[in-house]
Amino acid sequence: MALYELRTYTLYVGKMAEATLALFAFLLAFTFGIAEDAYNARRAAMVQETGAIRLAYLLSGTLPAPQRVEIRTVLRQYVDEQLRWDNGAPDLPGNSAEALLARLWQS
């Protein structure tokens, strides 16, 4: 009788381990799905922002020289700030993205 109980116990433990690993695999797949969605959303936003900056830079070429130079300078500073932020560095005083965009709209 003891051998039968040992086999039954082993069978139950095996089934519990199987169910636990299946749940873990499901949670792992779910987590990677969320991470992939966040990555794709960030990438799409970056592509959209890059296109908008490029368009603004090209359209500034139609403006008179003083405004064109000012707008292109602000756009370059904005891109530099975005790259600095992406690398984890803090904003420099007076060069935050909001301040640069405000300068751009004032130009």
Low-confidence ranges of the chain (pLDDT < 70): 1-6, 9, 91-92, 94-95, 107
pLDDT at position 19, please? 92
In the block, tokens 């987590």 appear at 31
State how far the Cα of 65 lies from the Cα of 81, in Å rounded to an integer: 24
Q: Which of 75, 80, 77, 83 is nearest to 57 (CA)?
A: 75
8 Å CB contact between 48 and 71: no
Predicted model pTM: 0.66
